[in-house]
Amino acid sequence: MFGVLGKSLPHTYSPRIHKSFANYEYTILERTEDEVRAIFEGKEKLEGFNVTIPYKKLACSLCEKLSDEAQAIGAVNTVVALPDGGFKGYNTDVYGFVYMLRQAKIDVNDKNCLVLGTGGASAAINYALKQLGAARIDFCSRTGEINYENVYTAQSDAQIIVNTTPVGMFPNIDDSSIDLSRFPKLYAAADIVYNPSRTRFLQQAEQLCVKHAGGLYMLVAQAYKASIVFKGGKFSLESSGKEEDELIERVTKSLESEMMNITLVGMPGSGKSRIGKKLADALNRQFIDLDDAFTEEYGVTPAEVIKTKGEGAFRTMETELAMKVLPRSGFVIATGGGIVTRPENSFYLRANSKVIYIKRPLETLKKQNVSNRPVSKSNGIEKLFEQRSPLYEAICDETWDLPDFEAGDPLVDSLIEKTAKTTGDS
């Protein structure tokens, strides 16, 4: 019996990841601090377990033996039972973090680094940054000498910023602990949060055109090293080579595909709902039409709100709904045509979705009956097309350029088939 040990783990992906690496039984261990101590006293029979927030330092103090890196760090994330009783602790977060940086081609050597947070994860990141040759490593916390009030002056020359806190993690995805734009020498940003896939922290790094890395690669890579320990293999913080890297890459991409929604944007009448339903069927996923979800949430249709309260009121309500629906995982979602007109919606659309733009020519859209859509009726399809097309292009990860609706859209079917083949849960 193996598992992941933490205080609250409603959204953990660890069992799914370990299943990809081994065939041992792996479960979720939500425990209080007293219950954690009881595990180390042998009152719960476990062969080993991973440790996550907030018990990494506590677990380290309770281990009978520690590997070299765990001893130096003072925190463990992987623990195995010893034959004669007690437990030995390891820290595979170091390997996971180094792997994450390597995938993003982030070079730490001779860079000034700022680490957000002072918990168990930050200790592993500190160890890794030292091993990679960082010129300077400083820590920022709510109550530390360097804090979120003075960090912009005290660390104005920071080149690499690493978030090791849970700030921005689902479901509290609106949170971000720092404004990256206030660091003029910023070269790269890394976030160990993996859900959502694109946190506010990472999206700001992307907007600033600096290198950035998300936590999913770290999660999978550290789990791979933990699985080696659980199976009785020799532990090493070094990569064994190309085969190991390719396995971690494959599992990460598969998990990413399963986690992320596929969200469709495009003009009214472009066929988002119809295509979304077909895509959801092909992927065996639940389909959500945001216009239908709007009616279910508020008890009134979008058209009725626009007619009685105006488009501005509707857009505010639409954003509130987007904040609730879009951060979830594993759905196919069709959005309303105007969701891209509110800049704040960009974050929610990209947080946990692969965004696909259903692109149709203007002449094709003119043939569709949109007379029952008040915004299209009052503004005209030509004006909306001119205003919104650049917004769709800017926000999407992929464009499906579809000429017309005739002949049953065979191109749609081929694109759906291609997407199903490259999606982890197809």
Residues with active-site annotation:
56
**186 Cβ partners below 8 Å, 6+ apart?**
158, 159, 160, 161, 180, 205, 208, 210
Q: What count of Cα atoms within 13 Å lies in the side-chain half-sphere of residue 185?
A: 12
* Amino acid residing at 94: V
Place of tokens 């990256």: 180
- Of 15, 22, 57, the C-alpha closest to 36 is 57
CA distances from 353 to 215, 326, 348, 365 (A): 16, 7, 9, 25
H/E run at residue 257: helix 242-259
Q: State the Cα–Cα distance between residues 343 and 338, nearest whole angstrom.
A: 11
Distance CA 43, CA 50 (A): 17
CA distance 265 to 338: 9
The span from the CA of 136 to the CA of 154, in Å, is 13
Q: Is residue 411 exposed (0-12), middle (13-18) or buried (19+ Cβ within 10 Å)?
A: middle
Gap between the Cα atoms of 158 and 152, Å rounded: 9
